[in-house]
Chains A and B, each alone.
Chain A
Amino acid sequence: MEQVLELKNIHYAYHNLEGETPALSDISFALGKGEFVAIVGPSGCGKSTLLSIIAGLLVPEKGLIKINGKYLRESTTNVGYMLQHDELFEWRTVYNNVILGLEVQHMLTARTREKAHELLDFYGLKQFERARPSELSGGMRQRAALIRTLVLDPDLLLLDEPFSALDYQTRLNVGDDIGQIIRKEKKSAILVTHDLSEAISLADRVIVLSGRPATIRQTIPLIFDPPQETPLARRNAPEFKTYFNLIWKELNTDE
């Protein structure tokens, strides 16, 4: 399978005057094209740090990252990053929020504008284009945030607990919704979460991290037979419980 992302022996530590806090230790994995990987681990173990490194916001102290076969520094591949909160700007309309990335990257053309309109239309936000973010429901806001990422046509999507700020019911719906959008657009994605059922219902593979400093404890491929179409259907499949218990046990074993 063609590799979108390759991480080799990534080390990272945070420094302050009191000393250093190792966050990641010897992390290596690869992500195939169109693959959806979930990363779970105890809270504060460095999951978000890992995403920040892949996005190029932090530079690892050791190790190398390749995206589409090129080193991260030289790579021109767009990496989309969805944060915990939607971070929509209240002083912009929904449409202007969606084109923020295009604006920042100087990619605003008639064609990309058209694409933004199409995506908003396709995902049911057309009548809210001129609305302010505060007029949208939590789920619609998250969808607008996803469109803001998708309109840049990223080869790789990083999702940093994007549903954790939502209430439970919305969270299930939005999780399913966004999971299916990502499948439909055939994006490769990495989802960081502490919600095991979310990870199992969305991903092809779950990577379990240990506590700080994070190392990869185990990688568990998720195979559903017959393959389930939607995240919600997965939750009802018999394998769901098996995987849940397996990952739960893996998270809770002492080293």
Chain B
Amino acid sequence: MNNLSKEQQKYLLCQRKHKRIVRISRILILLSFLFLWEFTANVGIIDSFIFSSPSKIALCFWSMVLDKSIFLHIGITLYETIISFFLVIAISVLVAVALWFSVRLSEILDPYLVVLNSLPKSALAPLLIVWLGATKTTIIVAGMSVAVFGSILSLYTSFTTVDPGKVKLIYTLQGKKYQALTKVVLPSSVPAIISNMKVNIGLCLVGVIIGEFLAARNGLGYLIIYSSQVFKMDWLLMSIVLLCIMATALYSLINLLEKWCLHRF
């Protein structure tokens, strides 16, 4: 590494400096935000009953860790999100494949999909409660309903925009439509499927939280609604922080999957 030219070394140094500044600034923003919050709450500039404070949130979290109730809430929300996420992926891939197979079917169903996709799905949640009861099923279906229609549409679009030359190649090799699907359409849509997953995991979480607002006895969404009703702002803010962490963690998992796929394909 000693044979790098002076200019190259200078460039590398510059790049490293830039990265360091970015990293330090990020941490500084977080720390100063936490500090300001804690400080103003302590000296009484803001009302800590309404705005809570980082230390109160941490204490609240710790006490719920000790009585183990927090694991139940996180676990339930995580479970419902992951189940609805996988169902959304499975259903939307299957439906998009069916639409791809039959142009006629896709033309027939197109207006229905567009309407269902643009409908605000939170409007469905009360309906689901009446139909399915205040159960986990309702919440999982609510989570799915937010993501599934958009997911079908975007997957179908990516299926139909696959390079026609590559599809033609399969037919010139005397392949059938099924082989065009398995050899060309699905493999070349892997990046689209993964970016679709990234959108869906967030949307499923939205749907699950909406569902929990209305029809749950536990879960982070329930915790948020309950604590706002009884003015336990420590709980409420803690739940939001936990949701942030959960969303980030789920997103990073899919990022890992993407890296693995890039490596393989």
Please list the residues of chain A having a beta carbon within 8 angstroms of any beta carbon in chain B.
Answer: 55-57, 78, 81, 83-85, 87, 89-91, 100-101, 103-105, 152
- 28 cross-chain CB contacts under 8 A: A56-B174, A57-B168, A57-B171, A78-B174, A81-B172, A81-B173, A83-B165, A83-B168, A83-B169, A85-B165, A87-B163, A87-B165, A87-B166, A87-B168, A89-B183, A89-B187, A89-B188, A91-B188, A101-B173, A101-B174, A103-B183, A104-B170, A104-B174, A104-B175, A104-B179, A104-B183, A105-B173, A105-B175
Whole-angstrom distance between the alpha carbons of A105 and B170 in the complex?
10
Taking CB atoms, residues of chain B closer than 8 Å to A83 are 165, 168-169, 172
User: Which one of B166, B173, B183 has the greatest number of beta carbons of chain A within 10 Å?
Assistant: B173
Taking CB atoms, residues of chain B closer than 8 Å to A105 are 173-175
What is the total of A-B residue contacts with beta carbons within 8 Å? 45
Given contacts A57-B172, A100-B183, A104-B175, 16 further A-B contacts (CB under 8 A): A83-B165, A83-B168, A87-B166, A89-B183, A89-B184, A90-B265, A91-B190, A91-B265, A100-B169, A101-B174, A104-B170, A104-B174, A104-B179, A104-B183, A105-B175, A152-B173
Q: Which of A87, A91, A103 has a CB less than 8 Å from the CB of B169? A: A87
Q: Which DSSP category, helix, strand, loop or mixed, fits chain A's interface?
A: loop
Query: Which 10 residue pairs spanning A and B have beta carbons closest together?
Result: A81-B172, A104-B175, A91-B265, A101-B173, A87-B169, A104-B173, A91-B187, A104-B179, A87-B166, A87-B165
Taking CB atoms, residues of chain B closer than 8 Å to A104 are 170, 173-175, 179, 183
B interface residue count range (under 10 / 10 to 19 / 20 to 34 / 35 or more) = 10 to 19
* Nearest opposing residue in chain B for A90, CB measure: B265
Whole-angstrom distance between the alpha carbons of A101 and B169 in the complex?
9
Whole-angstrom distance between the alpha carbons of A89 and B175 in the complex?
16
Q: Which DSSP category, helix, strand, loop or mixed, fits chain B's interface?
A: helix
With A100-B183, A103-B183, A104-B183 as known contacts, state yes or no: A89 contacts B166, CB within 8 Å: yes
Taking CB atoms, residues of chain A closer than 8 Å to B174 are 56, 78, 101, 104-105
Taking CB atoms, residues of chain A closer than 8 Å to B265 are 90-91
Whole-angstrom distance between the alpha carbons of A89 and B170 in the complex?
11
Whole-angstrom distance between the alpha carbons of A85 and B168 in the complex?
11
Whole-angstrom distance between the alpha carbons of A101 and B168 in the complex?
12
Whole-angstrom distance between the alpha carbons of A85 and B179 in the complex?
20
Distance from A44 Cβ to chain B, minimum over Cβ atoms (Å): 18
Distance from B102 Cβ to chain A, minimum over Cβ atoms (Å): 20
Taking CB atoms, residues of chain B closer than 8 Å to A81 are 172-173
Distance from B210 Cβ to chain A, minimum over Cβ atoms (Å): 38
Q: Which of B163, B165, B170, B183 has a CB less than 8 Å from the CB of A84? A: B165
Distance from A189 Cβ to chain B, minimum over Cβ atoms (Å): 15
* Nearest opposing residue in chain B for A85, CB measure: B165
Distance from A148 Cβ to chain B, minimum over Cβ atoms (Å): 8
